[in-house]
Amino acid sequence: MPVLDAGFKIKGLQAAGLKRYVVRLADNFTARRNVLPAAQPNGRPAAYGSLVRPLARTRKGKLIPAAAPDRTESWTEAGLTFRAEFWDDLVLPDVKVSATAATFFVAAIYDPRYRTPWLLASPINLPGPAWRGLYRDRWPIEQVPLAGKQMVGGVRQFVFAAECRYRLPELILLAGAVLTYLAATTPASPTGFWDRQPKPTPGRFRRGLAGRPFPESYPLPARLRKKASVFAHLAMGILGHRRLKQVAAT
């Protein structure tokens, strides 16, 4: 099941046809119920469901209260009591009430160690521990891309060829996985006198390698050698991939 952060929107996930996902929502997220409100004696008949605001917010000094949850759930993990509030069968604010509308569930997971809860959404009705467990699994998944991009420097690499756009991310992920494994299996080394309790992290391991003569001192196979390419005449940095405007032929 894809587990996504707040940078992804439910509307985009529905347009992509995803049937299973867990996505984090913004604190000011609102939705509507897929049920028409009670008919009023005057005015036009309603076409949209009532608005649901899972979390209260303050705007211009005025408190906007949260909507009451449809149900709640509590459980205990590692001596901590967690609480979840649920809102069922919701649709996006711009969607009218329909039997064929794409509905989803929203859960607010309250951790006693933090002030604000996780606000999550999924098209599948899940119990409270499953919501928390799925979103927690997103963090270790991001470890390998984080190590490859930030520690190895893959975030500063740019390629444009069709094959390289696939090959470079693959090499970055491989390097991040190797770096994370070596950091976890090698005794942690402090980065300085202030680092009294070092952790086996990829950043510390990379800093340790920076002070070594590796890879010049390592006996690499004969097939792996530095290519003596001539590149002094090529543009470097941003000038190397800057696009020039084409002059229209007259």
Assess whether 107 and 174 both reside in one domain.
Answer: no
By the 8 A CB rule, do 126 and 105 touch? yes
Angle between helices 202-210 and 164-185 (to 10 degrees): 90
Assess whether 97 and 124 both reside in one domain.
Answer: yes
Assess whether 134 and 172 both reside in one domain.
Answer: no
Assess whether 186 and 104 both reside in one domain.
Answer: no
Residue 249 has pLDDT above 60, yes or no: no
Residue 247 has pLDDT above 80, yes or no: no
Write down the pLDDT at residue 45. Answer: 86
Assess whether 121 and 209 both reside in one domain.
Answer: no
Q: What is the pLDDT of residues 64-78, one digit of tens each?
A: 899 999 999 999 998
Assess whether 124 and 151 both reside in one domain.
Answer: no
The count of domains in the chain is 2
Domain that holds residue 96: 3-138
- Separation CA 33–CA 87 (nearest Å): 9
Assess whether 153 and 61 both reside in one domain.
Answer: no
Share of the chain above pLDDT 70, in %: 94
Q: Sorting pLDDT into bands at 50, 70 and 90, what band is 241?
A: low
- Separation CA 37–CA 48 (nearest Å): 8
CA dist 17 to 31, 54, 102, Å?
Answer: 19, 25, 10
Assess whether 132 and 45 both reside in one domain.
Answer: yes
Whether residue 43 is contained in a domain is answered as yes
The token duo for 201 is 């992290």
Whether residue 100 is contained in a domain is answered as yes
Assess whether 128 and 195 both reside in one domain.
Answer: no
Residue 195 has pLDDT above 90, yes or no: no
Whether residue 236 is contained in a domain is answered as no
3-class secondary-structure state, position 107: strand
Write down the pLDDT at residue 152. Answer: 86
Q: Which of residues 96, 115, 138 is at a domain's end?
A: 138
Quickly tell me which residue has 């952790």 as its tokens.
199
Average pLDDT, integer, range 156-179: 89
Assess whether 119 and 32 both reside in one domain.
Answer: yes
Q: Which of residues 113, 138, 163 is at a domain's end?
A: 138
Write down the pLDDT at residue 208. Answer: 84
- Separation CA 132–CA 118 (nearest Å): 9
* CA-closest candidate to residue 170, choices 191, 183, 154: 154
Whether residue 115 is contained in a domain is answered as yes
Assess whether 160 and 63 both reside in one domain.
Answer: no
Average pLDDT, integer, range 90-98: 93
Whether residue 221 is contained in a domain is answered as no
Write down the pLDDT at residue 244. Answer: 61
Residue 84 has pLDDT above 90, yes or no: yes
Whether residue 34 is contained in a domain is answered as yes
Whether residue 23 is contained in a domain is answered as yes
Whether residue 223 is contained in a domain is answered as no
pLDDT averaged over every residue in the chain = 88
Q: What is the pLDDT of residues 115-129, one digit of tens each?
A: 999 999 999 999 999
Q: Which helix (H) or strand (E) holds 76?
A: strand 71-77
Q: Which long-range contacts (CB under 8 A, 24 or more apart) does 225-228 make?
A: none
Assess whether 19 and 112 both reside in one domain.
Answer: yes
